């Protein structure tokens, strides 16, 4: 299985996402924002970073990139697409996901290991989790506060499309503690926290067992591999 | 030969019902300066878009479309004004 990771001007976590794909057992394929070519990949990741310096709005200019024409078409045909942090912002700007992300409630950039509850295990990227699983992966953003109209929020909740929720103190003012959502079909997922930084023991969040041993993020990537094999 | 250049201004504000952390931070700073008569601050964006020639109906319509689709995100922001500010002559 081949998973494309799109690099935009200002992407930071594209290499980490490629590494996560490799550790999960798939082949990462580097894709370029200026191309109109997905190189035949089976799934896509829009990585974190600060594309175009977050000018205009976070993710807004990247969402108008040449490759987004192909990304949007593939997503609408059911290809699994994961947007992480800046990638989540791009997915909302591209209207592949509802709602939007604004500056954190207290105005500060937040970087910490964040506990989450996985709320939806039907999506392409979360099918490997046990329902209600509590996981810890890094969170690092300045504009991660999820906003949506009351009507949209009710629909997301009613359709079970909240993929993950913050546990403990809400870090950024997100409505309903939302850390990630999916589209109606479940193939497109946006997450503010970073699963790709918790995929290899020695380089992840601390756990009760050992320092830096957390690999809770890996399941997002193994999920999409299993999901795609089942679908094939 | 001189050419006319027009500037179309688009103003975008965060939606009134959403928190504006940037405005709150500025309001806090004003309070610390002793400017206590100001009760709140909201921070938005102003775009100045220049066009060769007059800002005619077609140009304004195109800008209005871009204001809604690119310059603002209707989930979190409102376009609060579009107007022509100046027409200057460049020699």
pLDDT in tens, A81-117: 999 999 999 999 999 999 999 999 988 999 999 999 9
* Contact residues, chain B, for A145 at CB < 8 Å: 19
Distance CA A96, CA A182 (A): 9
Which has the higher per-residue pLDDT, B34 or A230? B34
Does the pLDDT at position A178 exceed 80? yes
Instruction: End-to-end CA distance of chain A: give it in Å, rounded.
Output: 11
Asked if residue A130 lies in contact with residue A120, where contact means CB atoms within 8 angstroms, the answer is no
Asked if residue A124 lies in contact with residue A224, where contact means CB atoms within 8 angstroms, the answer is yes
pLDDT tens readout for residues B30-82? 999 999 899 999 999 999 999 988 899 999 999 999 999 999 999 999 999 99
Find the mean pLDDT for residues A149-157. 97
**Kind and range of the H or E run holding A222:** helix A218-231
Task: Tell me how many degrees the CA angle A87-A98-A56 measures, rounded to the nearest 5.
Answer: 55
Find the mean pLDDT for residues B13-28. 91
pLDDT category, B2, cuts 50, 70, 90? low
Does the pLDDT at position B1 exceed 60? no
Which has the higher per-residue pLDDT, A92 or B89? A92
Active site residue A85: yes
**A–B CB contacts, 8 A cutoff, strictly below:** 38
pLDDT of amino acid B4: 79
Query: Which residue of B13, B19, B43, B77 is the best one to mutate when testing the A interface, meaning the one whose CB has the most A CBs within 10 A?
Result: B19
Distance CA A105, CA B19 (A): 7
* Contact residues, chain A, for B25 at CB < 8 Å: 107
Active site residue A105: no
Does the pLDDT at position A128 exceed 60? yes
Contact yes or no for A102 and B76 at CB 8 A: yes
Nearest to A93 among B18, B24, B73 (CB): B73
Catalytic residue among A119, A196, A197, A227: A196
Which of left, alpha, beta for A99 (phi over 0: left; psi -120 to 50: alpha)? left
Contact yes or no for A100 and B70 at CB 8 A: no
Nearest CA in chain A to B47: A56
Nearest to B25 among A64, A100, A107 (CB): A107
* Contact residues, chain A, for B76 at CB < 8 Å: 57, 100, 102, 147
Does the pLDDT at position A190 exceed 60? yes
Distance CA B56, CA A32 (A): 38
Phi, psi of A214 (to 5 degrees): -70, 130
């Amino acid at each position: 299985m081949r998973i494309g990771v799109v690099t935009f001007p200002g992407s930071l976590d594209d290499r980490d996402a490629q590494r996560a794909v490799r550790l999960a057992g798939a082949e990462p394929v580097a894709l370029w924002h200026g191309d109109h070519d997905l190189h035949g990949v089976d799934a896509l990741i829009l990585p974190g970073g600060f594309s175009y310096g977050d000018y205009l709005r976070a993710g807004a200019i990247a969402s108008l990139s040449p490759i987004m024409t192909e990304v949007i078409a593939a997503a609408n045909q059911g290809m699994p697409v994961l947007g992480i942090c800046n990638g989540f912002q791009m997915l909302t700007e591209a209207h592949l996901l509802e709602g939007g992300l604004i500056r954190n409630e207290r105005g500060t950039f937040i970087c910490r290991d964040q506990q989450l509850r996985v709320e939806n295990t039907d999506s392409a990227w979360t099918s490997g989790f046990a329902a209600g699983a509590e996981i810890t992966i890094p969170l690092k953003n300045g504009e991660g506060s999820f906003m949506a109209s009351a009507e949209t929020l009710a629909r997301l909740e009613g359709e079970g499309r909240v993929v993950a929720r913050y546990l403990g103190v809400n870090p950024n003012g997100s409505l309903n503690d939302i850390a990630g959502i999916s589209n109606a079909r479940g193939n497109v997922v946006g997450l503010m926290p970073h699963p790709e930084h918790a995929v290899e023991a020695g380089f992840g969040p601390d756990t009760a067992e050992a320092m830096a041993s957390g690999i809770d993020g890996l399941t997002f990537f193994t999920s999409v591999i299993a999901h795609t094999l089942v679908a094939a | 030969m001189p050419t006319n250049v027009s500037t179309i201004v688009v103003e975008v504000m965060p939606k009134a019902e959403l928190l504006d952390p940037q405005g709150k931070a500025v309001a806090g700073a004003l309070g610390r300066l002793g400017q206590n008569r100001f009760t709140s601050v909201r921070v938005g964006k102003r775009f100045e878009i220049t066009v060769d020639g007059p800002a005619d109906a077609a140009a304004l319509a195109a800008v209005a479309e871009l204001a809604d689709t690119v310059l603002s995100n209707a989930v979190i922001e409102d376009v609060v004004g579009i107007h022509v500010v100046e027409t200057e002559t460049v020699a």
